[in-house]
Amino acid sequence: MLSRILDLVESREQEVHRVLIVEDSKTATAHVQRALELHGIDSRAINTPLSLLQACADYRPHAILMDMYMPFCTGVEATRALRQIAEYQSIPVIYLSGETDIGQQVEALRLGGDQFLTKPANPIILSAVVKTKIDRYREMLRSGRHDGLTGLLNHTAAKEQLEHMLRRALPAGHLTVAMLDIDRFKSINDNYGHPVGDQVIRSLAWLLRGRLRNTDLVGRYGGEEFVVALGGVDAGQAMTLLDRIREDFSRLPHAHGHEALYASFSCGIAALPAYTTGSSLIEAADEALLQAKRDGRNRLVVANRHRPEH
């Protein structure tokens, strides 16, 4: 039953399509949003490309519908700026403009766009293009940056995201990193089989995604180990939050025939300002995790600063 629920949650997440509209005309924006809504596509609009980066960070769109000509900054200029940021290098940018000159359209695509549609766009074609671009984008991300079992960021992508969060947090902000490891996982695989072990891993991934914010980092670091990074959160706040998740996970039944299997995890925590590099945060959290295992498992330990970073 739990496995079917997890599949349903993941399928519903895949069905969501979020589109950011960058358009200075209120009339055009309303027309586009109505067309997208009719086809089940969620959207948010901004009327100036000057707020594009902040809107992307807040809304986390799967695609961007960009007008070509707006005050202060053109759509092409905004797209070129967006492409300078690693996180947005591949996000689909679809130009929706009254520009009919083929040369200008080709130039816009050459400088970072993925598709060009002229206004007024047919609502059916517009929605089909948006959904197709988003689906291909998701598949590209999933194959290169996401773990196949859980859908979480993989080891490499998680470390990259941590560095990005660290740059935003320094020099005076809060950032807490936690390393989580499912207790006695080898015994679960040996005694119940790998499909049950996979279900336990997916259950923890699902719980973390459901309880943490969209802006938080949740990654599968390897095997049964996960990495979490909480921006704007100190060690004490992280301890409280993650301990609740630990308790909830320990009460979560995992089906095995007619029986219910219960699992737990141990967790190590490290935070700014005691550790100020991504590698030192992960290493300190990992050492605290090992201490949690030594102390009896199913608990959290906060790292203490005790040696120079390297």
What is the model's pTM?
0.58
> What is the predicted pLDDT for the residue at 253?
87
Residue ranges of the chain whose pLDDT lies below 70: 1-15, 305-310
> What is the predicted pLDDT for the residue at 204?
93
> What is the predicted pLDDT for the residue at 35?
92
DSSP notation for 191-237: HH-HHHHHHHHHHHHHHHHHHS-TTSEEEEEETTEEEEEEET--HHH
Q: Which domains does the chain have, with CATH numbers?
A: 15-145 (3.40.50.2300), 155-302 (3.30.70.270)
What is the β-pairing status of strands 18-22 and 63-66? parallel
pLDDT tens readout for residues 258-302: 778 999 999 999 999 999 999 999 999 999 999 999 999 999 999
Residues classed as catalytic: 224
> What is the predicted pLDDT for the residue at 149?
83
> What is the predicted pLDDT for the residue at 305?
64
What is the rounded distance in angstroms from the CA atom of residue 34 to the CA atom of residue 123? 9
> What is the predicted pLDDT for the residue at 110?
76
